[in-house]
A and B are shown apart, each in its own frame.
Chain A
Amino acid sequence: MASEAVCSHRDPMLKKRDDFEDILEERRNSSDLRYALKCYTPVLYKQLTPCTASDLKNMVLCSTQVHFVIAQVSKETGAAPEEVQAEASSILEEMAHRLQLGPIRFFAFVLCKVFKTLFRSVCVNEEGIQRLQQSIHEHPVVLLPSHRSYMDFLLMSYILYTYDLALPVIAAGMDFMGMKILGEMLRMSGAFFIRRSFGGDKLYWAVFSEYVRTMLKTGFAPVEFFLEGTRSRTSKSLTPKLGLLNIVMEPFLKGEVFDVALVPVSISYERILEESLYARELLGVPKPKESTSGLFKARKVLSENYGSIHVYFGQPVSVRSLAEGRVQRGQFNLIPRHIPRRPSEDVQGFVNDSAYQLLRAQEENMVLKPWVLLSSLLLQNHHQNQNQNQRRGGGMMMEELSEGAVWLRELCRQYGAFLHWPDHVPPAEVVSSSLDLHRGLVTISDGRVHLNLGHGAQKGAGLTAEEELLSQAVIILSCASYRNQALHVFVRPALLATALQAAGSAHKQDVFNTFNFLRNMFANEFILCPGAAVQDFEEACFLLMKTGVVLMEQEEVLVTENGHRTITFLTSILDPFLQGYQVVCRFLCEASTESLTEAQFVPAVRTFIVRLLLSGRLRYSEVLSSDLQKNALAALQRLGAVHKLKREAEPATLKVNTVMVNSLEDTLGGKLPTVKPVASRL
Chain B
Amino acid sequence: MTICIPLGVPVPHFGNLGAKSFTNNLSGHFCTQHYESPCLSFNRHEVMKWNGWGYSDSRFLFNKKGQAEFTGKRYKLSGMILPALKDWFEGTFGASLQHKSPATPLLNTSAVQAPTLNQDFVEELKSIGVPFSHEAEDRAFRGHGHCLHEIFALREGKIGRVPDMVVWPNCHNDVEKIVALACKHNVCLIPYGGGTSVSSALECPPEETRSIVSLDTSQMNRILWIDEKNLTAHVEAGIIGQDLERLLNESGYCTGHEPDSMEFSSLGGWVSTRASGMKKNIYGNIEDLVVHIKMVTPQGVIEKSCQGPRMSTGPDIHHFILGSEGTLGVVTEVTMKIRPVPEYQKYGSVVFPNFEQGVACLREVAKQRCAPASIRLMDNEQFMFGHALKPQVSSIFTSFLDGLKKFYITKFKGFDPSRLCVATLLFEGNREKVLQHEKQVYDIAAKFGGLAAGEDNGQRGYMLTFVIAYLRDLGMDYYVIAESFETSVPWDRVLDVCRNVKARVVRECKDKGVQFSPLSSCRVTQTYDAGACVYFYFAFNYRGLSDPVHVYEQVEHAAREEILANGGSLSHHHGVGKLRKEWMRETVSEVGVGMLQSVKDYVDPKNIFGNRNLL
| A→B interface (CB under 8 Å) | 47, 255-259, 328-330, 332-333, 336-337
Contact = CB atoms under 8 A, between A and B. Distances in A.
B492 A336 contact: yes
A329 B497 CA distance: 13
A492 B564 CA distance: 41
Contacts of A255: 493, 496-497, 500, 565-567
B contacts with A: majority SS: helix
B496 A256 contact: yes
B567 A330 contact: yes
**A-B pairs with lowest CB-CB distance, top 4:** A329-B565, A255-B566, A258-B503, A333-B567
Contacts of A333: 567
A131 to B, nearest CB: 17
B586 interface: yes
B512 interface: no
Contacts of B567: 255, 330, 332-333
Nearest to B506: A258
A28 B566 CA distance: 52
A96 to B, nearest CB: 24
B178 to A, nearest CB: 42
Nearest to B496: A255
Contacts of B566: 255, 329
B564 A330 contact: yes
A265 B566 CA distance: 31
A47 B504 CA distance: 16
A328 B567 CA distance: 11
Contacts of B369: none
Interface residues of B, number: 13
B461 to A, nearest CB: 26
A337 B491 CA distance: 12
A575 to B, nearest CB: 48
Contacts of A337: 492
Contacts of B565: 255, 328-330
A87 to B, nearest CB: 27
A258 B492 contact: no
A258 B500 contact: yes
Nearest to A256: B496
DSSP class of A's interface residues: helix, strand, loop or mixed? loop
B112 to A, nearest CB: 42
A258 B504 contact: yes
26 contacts: A47-B499, A255-B493, A255-B496, A255-B497, A255-B500, A255-B565, A255-B566, A255-B567, A256-B496, A257-B499, A258-B499, A258-B500, A258-B503, A258-B504, A259-B503, A328-B565, A329-B565, A329-B566, A330-B564, A330-B565, A330-B567, A330-B586, A332-B567, A333-B567, A336-B492, A337-B492
Contacts of B586: 330
Which of B499, B564, B566 gathers the greatest number of chain A CB atoms within 10 Å?
B566
Contacts of A259: 503
Nearest to B497: A255
A335 B582 CA distance: 24
Contacts of A256: 496
Contacts of A328: 565
B477 to A, nearest CB: 33
Contacts of A258: 499-500, 503-504
Given A255-B497, A257-B499, 16 more contacts: A255-B493, A255-B496, A255-B500, A255-B565, A255-B567, A258-B499, A258-B500, A258-B503, A258-B504, A329-B566, A330-B567, A330-B586, A332-B567, A333-B567, A336-B492, A337-B492
A336 B491 CA distance: 11
Contacts of A332: 567
Contacts of B496: 255-256
A5 to B, nearest CB: 14
Interface string B547-591: 000000000000000001111000000000000000000100000
Interface in B498-518: 499-500, 503-504
Nearest to A252: B500
A9 to B, nearest CB: 21
A411 B493 CA distance: 54
Contacts of A257: 499
B545 to A, nearest CB: 23
A167 B493 CA distance: 30
A148 to B, nearest CB: 36
Contacts of B492: 336-337
Interface centre among A255, A328, A337 (most CB of B within 10 A): A255
With most chain A CB atoms within 10 A of its CB, the pick from B492, B499, B500, B564 is: B500
Contacts of B500: 255, 258
A260 to B, nearest CB: 12
A256 B497 CA distance: 9
B582 to A, nearest CB: 14
Most buried by A among B504, B564, B565: B565
Contacts of A47: 499
A259 B499 CA distance: 11
Contacts of A336: 492
A127 B503 CA distance: 25
A47 B355 CA distance: 12
Contacts of B497: 255
Interface string B121-146: 00000000000000000000000000
A440 B565 CA distance: 58
A253 to B, nearest CB: 9
A66 to B, nearest CB: 16
Nearest to A337: B492
A333 B564 CA distance: 9
A589 B497 CA distance: 58
A489 to B, nearest CB: 34
A375 to B, nearest CB: 46
B276 to A, nearest CB: 22
A256 B492 CA distance: 10
A332 B567 CA distance: 8
A336 B499 CA distance: 19
Nearest to A254: B496
A546 B492 CA distance: 56
A255 B492 CA distance: 11
A175 B37 CA distance: 82
Contacts of B493: 255
Nearest to B564: A330
Contacts of A329: 565-566
A257 B493 CA distance: 11
A235 B158 CA distance: 66
Nearest to A138: B503
Nearest to A251: B496
A329 B561 CA distance: 10
B588 to A, nearest CB: 13
B256 to A, nearest CB: 32
A373 B586 CA distance: 56
B613 to A, nearest CB: 23
Nearest to B356: A49
Nearest to A259: B503
A177 to B, nearest CB: 36
A332 B564 CA distance: 11
B446 to A, nearest CB: 20
B567 to A, nearest CB: 4
Nearest to B566: A255
A255 B567 CA distance: 9
A121 B496 CA distance: 45
Interface in B479-536: 492-493, 496-497, 499-500, 503-504
A261 to B, nearest CB: 13
Nearest to A64: B492
A476 B503 CA distance: 54
